[in-house]
A and B are shown apart, each in its own frame.
Chain A
Amino acid sequence: MVETKEEKKTVTILFAGDSGDGMQLTGSQFTNTNALFGNDVSTFPDFPAEIRAPQGTIAGVSGFQLNFGSVDVFTPGDNADVLVAMNAAALKASLLKLKIGGTIIVNLSGFDKKNLRLAGFLNDENPLTDSSLGKYRVLEMDVTKLTRACLADTGMTVKHIDRSKNMFVLGVLYWMYNRKLDTTLDFFKVKFKGKQDLIDANTKVLTAGYYFGDTSEIFTSRYEVKPAPLSKGVYRNIMGNQATAIGLIAAVRKANLDLFYGSYPITPASDILHELAKHKNFGVKTYQAEDEIAAICAAIGASFGGHLGVTTSSGPGIALKGEALGYAAILELPLVVINVQRGGPSTGLPTKTEQSDLMQALYGRNGEAPIPVVAPCTPSDCFDVIYEAARIAIEHMTPVFFLSDGYIANGSEPWKFPVSTDLVPIKVKKLSAEGDDEKYRPYVRNDKLVRDWAIPGVKGLEHRIGGLEKENETGNVSYDPANHELMVKLRAKKVVNISDTIPDQNIEIGENSGKVLVLGWGSTFGASKTAVTELVKDGVEVSQAHVRYLNPLPKNLRDLISRFDKVLVPEINDGQFVKLIRDKYLVDAIPFNKIMGIPFSSQEIKEKVLEILG
């Protein structure tokens, strides 16, 4: 029996199979086990838009990539060390993501004639028998057959037995990386509660996989990935959409408000609705509206009634909400608008990631209707940034855009979560005192130009608001030319003033001045951080700054940018933030774009930095 142990700092595994093969579940189980073990982890699920695309085809391949390490990891990994391919299509679709010399674990029965043909291998071509996989280490096992043998005497149907085959693979990987099965065994008990036969069957298959790793001769070594030196504290694993949902609940709790969540299902945003619907015991009101427009209008109605109104969508749905966004801006009511961006335009790439709705968030309305925009940069950062979005909305009486994307929404990482008392208080400017009858003026502003929130039910504050231009202070309908210009400027200045309440832009990695600044926003954070960290180590004069407040921008950003010879702006779009930077600061910022529905690899950013350094 082999027992050579090879220590690894980071390992990237890509699970790939048919969309019905349970790759997402397998990946997330492996993730949770590693996170609980103490590794730093970053994940990236990649699945087709179709629920069950034709079996065995490239279109139906569902992938889950995770990167775990004994050091800090910031991305799900550029390329995989290990590829699990449940069938021929999965191999074909994923092979380019595997490192040269990497390991492929294949399920042999996924490479029969039918599967090979469906995957597009023609004329008896078979990658397992020709020499096309010569650059990799291929470990073959007949997962389907082994799983069936394992459960042969259970009386289960073959169809049901085959559903457990992903657990066999998971068991093998637990053996390879020397992990305990406990987390997944506990998971079975919850997932299949009341169905002891399923708990037993999955336990049996998982364990069989583990022992298969131990006893079969195909593995020459096991790997060891020690716990990462994460800073002291208590951690959990969290996905971006989940962090967003929890952040909203935390914000309303700290503001002592109720949450009204108006939403219409759309990929990849729906999981926020699902998560919030689980937490009705927090008084959360989730409202699945008849369409995107109703969702935002209902949220505005709830905000008028004194709740924090929140609405969520992705690009196409946000387009439908455009009119109501301008309406919320002129009403000056708190509203949080979440856009989990995906590939566009139109229906575009529903399950693929993109950062191409920044311009839509900044400018996508009729009339002059500036709206603050914030963007999280990692899955756990969604919590902090949505909390900020809620704070700004409430304290500044304005709609606020929160721009997440499919990559961080579905990705996960360990999170050193806060406790309630760590969270900054949110001050609500609700008027409760009874006003002087007839004279209440809803658009009187404080020194920050913020108006009061006068909630129905309070005597003496009766007032009418609407989408027509309003007279300064009284809020009465006004068509006066000078008044209109004044109101447009006041609303704009109110948004600009928010920059007084946000932190200065920091340098994430590197010196405060130098040759190149990698200036990003949103989900490019991890790839940039990995790239810049490595370059700095190699002595390259490069720094990273990553912007979370996109409107208004941090006050010191102009000065920060000016201290670098060159500014590189990597984005998963055709160049949007770079236009903003050029517009605001008149600097010749260099765009670096990828529009393939997938994130940057750190290697790509590294090479680009070196290229512009010449």
Chain B
Amino acid sequence: MSIEMENPEVKLSGKDFASDQEVKWCPGCGDYSILKQVQSTLADIGVKREDTVFVSGIGCSSRFPYYMNTYGVHSLHGRATALASGLKTARPDLNTWIVTGDGDALSIGGNHLIHLLRRNLNVNILLFNNEIYGLTKGQYSPASPKGTITKSSPMGSLDHSFNPLALCLGADSTFIARSMDRDPKHLRAILAEANNHLGTSMVEIYQNCNVFNDGAFFTFTEKATKGNTTLQLKHGQPLIFGDNGDLGIKLDGFKPVVVALDESISPDDLWVHDESDQVKAGILTRFFDTPSAEMTLPRPFGVFYKESRSVYEEDVAIQINQAIKIKGEGDLNSLLAGANTWEVI
């Protein structure tokens, strides 16, 4: 989402966005890092605390608003998106952030998520994806890969998992991006970009649950592996990855192919990332197999796609103004009287 800022008189720091409440996530939880990056991003953006609202659902991540010294609503399981839609429609002026998890957004709240995306309200969604239910103590989530062993799936889960960003793109999301808890700089940059986008900004954040699903994303976050398993998307840049920047991605028709950069293949031959290309963004969201061997597709991070589309709450305001233009400002006495009256004398 995007909000034009006035220059606040006093520049706030990240700490000014922290509430007086003790943070109660498990020690070592990825949420701590995300909280810190959000707080410092808000300070960098220069938004006022009183104009900012955090809305969450239920789950570990959804305790987030209590730790922010802004307005905040800890809503019902799955309903942060629904509640925020009403709030933003009523109050387009508020800088509105939704904090949700993979269970909250993709399972119990799946319906509201896709409808928010199609309406395209100007809000930011932070989807903390840890591929597990943490607050209920470790059941598989709709983002858990099939076969995940948990207390509720001792023989392995049987459910095919959601691909969150592919789902969002399918719902005509106007901004989708992925980041991770363990790359603060990247996360801050993506949060700022999300905030600048006019429309619903969907940011999936890989977040480590060190108690119930420790290391779920280590292959993408740890130094030893991340070079060959991750792809940093940059608008206008060729898709290059690998420890030594020696691997690239080409498109063979609609099929992405990993190629080694050598004398025969130069960066000019590679797929160049275009944030405005919805078809290619669709292909990027399908880079979803866990990279296991060399020459398999890496997991992309960064902004996959963004487009400019009208924003719901603005359309609401436009329609109200149109109605006033056509019918005039509503007059209560004429409304009460209606079209046909008669007098009893």
In the complex, A37 Cα to B344 Cα: how many Å? 10
Q: Does B178 contact A (CB under 8 A)?
A: no
Q: Which of B43-51, B221-229, B293-301 forms contacts with chain A?
A: B43-51
Q: Does A90 contact B (CB under 8 A)?
A: no
Q: Does A230 contact B (CB under 8 A)?
A: yes
B76 x A323 contact (CB < 8 A): yes
Given A236-B338, A468-B74, answer yes or no on A294-B82 (Cβ-Cβ < 8 Å).
yes
B111 x A285 contact (CB < 8 A): no
In the complex, A230 Cα to B316 Cα: how many Å? 42
Restricting to B1-58, which residues have a CB under 8 Å from any CB of A?
A: 19-21, 48-51, 53-55
B112 x A294 contact (CB < 8 A): yes
Q: How far is the CB of B110 from chain A (nearest CB, A)?
A: 11
| A249 neighbours in B (Cβ, 8 Å) | 330, 332, 335
In the complex, A140 Cα to B258 Cα: how many Å? 85
| Contact among A297, A301, A456 for B51, CB-based, below 8 A | A456
A305 x B90 contact (CB < 8 A): yes
Q: Which of A5-13, A50-58, A68-76, A417-425 forms contacts with chain B?
A: A417-425
A301 x B76 contact (CB < 8 A): no
| A338 neighbours in B (Cβ, 8 Å) | none
Given A249-B335, A417-B336, answer yes or no on A235-B316 (Cβ-Cβ < 8 Å).
no
In the complex, A458 Cα to B70 Cα: how many Å? 11
Q: Does B320 contact A (CB under 8 A)?
A: yes
Restricting to B311-337, which residues have a CB under 8 Å from any CB of A?
A: 316, 319-320, 322-324, 326-330, 332-333, 335-337
Q: How far is the CB of B315 from chain A (nearest CB, A)?
A: 11
Given A236-B337, A464-B66, A466-B74, answer yes or no on A36-B83 (Cβ-Cβ < 8 Å).
no
Instruction: Write out, one digit per residue, whether chain A residues 426-465 have a CB within 8 A of any chain B CB (1) or not (0).
Output: 0000000000001000000000000000001111111111
Q: Does A521 contact B (CB under 8 A)?
A: no
Given A281-B330, A290-B112, answer yes or no on A301-B337 (Cβ-Cβ < 8 Å).
no
Q: Does A135 contact B (CB under 8 A)?
A: no
B19 x A301 contact (CB < 8 A): no
Restricting to B129-151, which residues have a CB under 8 Å from any CB of A?
A: none
| A465 neighbours in B (Cβ, 8 Å) | 72-74
In the complex, A324 Cα to B71 Cα: how many Å? 20
B344 x A233 contact (CB < 8 A): yes
Q: Does B284 contact A (CB under 8 A)?
A: no
Q: Does A524 contact B (CB under 8 A)?
A: no
Q: Does B69 contact A (CB under 8 A)?
A: yes
B330 x A282 contact (CB < 8 A): yes
B90 x A302 contact (CB < 8 A): yes
Residue from A284, A293, A460, A477 having most chain B Cβ neighbours under 10 A:
A293
B336 x A418 contact (CB < 8 A): yes
In the complex, A291 Cα to B116 Cα: how many Å? 12
Given A36-B342, A235-B342, A302-B87, answer yes or no on A462-B336 (Cβ-Cβ < 8 Å).
no
Instruction: Write out, one digit per residue, whether chain A residues 289-330 have a CB within 8 A of any chain B CB (1) or not (0).
Output: 111011001111110111101000000000000011001000
Q: How far is the CB of B213 from chain A (nearest CB, A)?
A: 24
In the complex, A159 Cα to B93 Cα: how many Å? 54
Given A420-B333, A467-B74, answer yes or no on A294-B50 (Cβ-Cβ < 8 Å).
no
Across the two chains, which residue of chain B brings its CB closest to A331? B73
Q: How far is the CB of A438 from chain B (nearest CB, A)?
A: 7
Q: Does A4 contact B (CB under 8 A)?
A: no
| Contact among B55, B71, B86, B342 for A463, CB-based, below 8 A | B71
| B48 neighbours in A (Cβ, 8 Å) | 459
| A417 neighbours in B (Cβ, 8 Å) | 336-338, 341
B319 x A306 contact (CB < 8 A): no
Across the two chains, which residue of chain B brings its CB closest to A418? B336
| B234 neighbours in A (Cβ, 8 Å) | none
Q: Does A1 contact B (CB under 8 A)?
A: no
Q: Does B343 contact A (CB under 8 A)?
A: yes
B50 x A289 contact (CB < 8 A): no
| A231 neighbours in B (Cβ, 8 Å) | 344
A301 x B73 contact (CB < 8 A): yes
In the complex, A236 Cα to B339 Cα: how many Å? 8
Q: Does A262 contact B (CB under 8 A)?
A: yes
Q: Does B309 contact A (CB under 8 A)?
A: no
| B107 neighbours in A (Cβ, 8 Å) | none
| A175 neighbours in B (Cβ, 8 Å) | none
Chief secondary structure at chain A's binding surface? mixed
Restricting to A580-602, which residues have a CB under 8 Å from any CB of B?
A: none
| Contact among A32, A233, A258, A304 for B343, CB-based, below 8 A | A233
Interface residues on B, range: 35 or more
Given A299-B86, A301-B86, A324-B79, answer yes or no on A464-B71 (Cβ-Cβ < 8 Å).
yes
Given A327-B75, A464-B19, A465-B72, answer yes or no on A458-B86 (Cβ-Cβ < 8 Å).
no
A235 x B341 contact (CB < 8 A): yes
Q: Does B176 contact A (CB under 8 A)?
A: no
In the complex, A280 Cα to B72 Cα: how many Å? 29
Q: Does B187 contact A (CB under 8 A)?
A: no
Across the two chains, which residue of chain B brings its CB closest to A245? B335
Q: Does A250 contact B (CB under 8 A)?
A: yes
A281 x B343 contact (CB < 8 A): no
Q: Does B280 contact A (CB under 8 A)?
A: no
A283 x B72 contact (CB < 8 A): no
Residue from B65, B326, B342 having most chain A Cβ neighbours under 10 A:
B342
Q: How far is the CB of A188 from chain B (nearest CB, A)?
A: 14
B333 x A419 contact (CB < 8 A): yes
Instruction: Write out, one digit per residue, whether chain A residues 221-245 have a CB within 8 A of any chain B CB (1) or not (0).
Output: 0000001001111111110000000
In the complex, A227 Cα to B72 Cα: how many Å? 59
In the complex, A234 Cα to B324 Cα: how many Å? 27
In the complex, A417 Cα to B333 Cα: how many Å? 9
A291 x B91 contact (CB < 8 A): no
| B50 neighbours in A (Cβ, 8 Å) | 456-462
| Contact among A285, A300, A302, A459 for B320, CB-based, below 8 A | A285
Q: How far is the CB of B272 from chain A (nearest CB, A)?
A: 37
Across the two chains, which residue of chain B brings its CB closest to A296? B82
Q: Does A502 contact B (CB under 8 A)?
A: no
| A299 neighbours in B (Cβ, 8 Å) | 86
Q: Does B232 contact A (CB under 8 A)?
A: no
| A300 neighbours in B (Cβ, 8 Å) | 75, 83, 86
| Contact among A38, A457, A467 for B344, CB-based, below 8 A | A38
Given A232-B344, A466-B75, answer yes or no on A456-B94 (Cβ-Cβ < 8 Å).
yes
Across the two chains, which residue of chain B brings its CB closest to A419? B333
Restricting to A482-536, which residues have a CB under 8 Å from any CB of B?
A: none
B87 x A304 contact (CB < 8 A): yes
B84 x A301 contact (CB < 8 A): yes
Across the two chains, which residue of chain A brings its CB closest to B67? A464
B320 x A283 contact (CB < 8 A): yes
Q: How far is the CB of A251 from chain B (nearest CB, A)?
A: 10
| A108 neighbours in B (Cβ, 8 Å) | none
Restricting to B195-247, which residues have a CB under 8 Å from any CB of A?
A: none
| A236 neighbours in B (Cβ, 8 Å) | 337-338, 340-342
| Contact among A32, A306, A324, A461 for B91, CB-based, below 8 A | A306
16 contacts between A and B (CB under 8 A): A236-B337, A246-B335, A281-B328, A282-B330, A282-B332, A285-B320, A290-B82, A298-B86, A298-B87, A327-B76, A417-B336, A419-B333, A456-B71, A462-B50, A466-B72, A467-B76
Q: Which residues of B contact A (CB under 8 A)?
A: 19-21, 48-51, 53-55, 65-66, 68-76, 79, 82-91, 93-94, 111-112, 115, 316, 319-320, 322-324, 326-330, 332-333, 335-338, 340-345
Q: Which residues of A contact B (CB under 8 A)?
A: 32, 35-38, 183, 227, 230-238, 246, 249-250, 253, 258, 260, 262, 279-285, 287, 289-291, 293-294, 297-302, 304-307, 309, 323-324, 327, 417-420, 438, 456-468, 476-477
Pick the 9 closest A-B CB pairs, nearest first: A466-B74, A298-B86, A301-B86, A282-B330, A301-B87, A464-B72, A297-B82, A280-B323, A302-B90
Q: A279-B330, A299-B86, A465-B73 are in contact. List 15 more A-B contacts (CB 8 A).
A: A232-B344, A232-B345, A236-B338, A246-B335, A249-B332, A250-B335, A281-B327, A287-B89, A302-B89, A420-B332, A456-B53, A457-B51, A457-B93, A457-B94, A467-B75
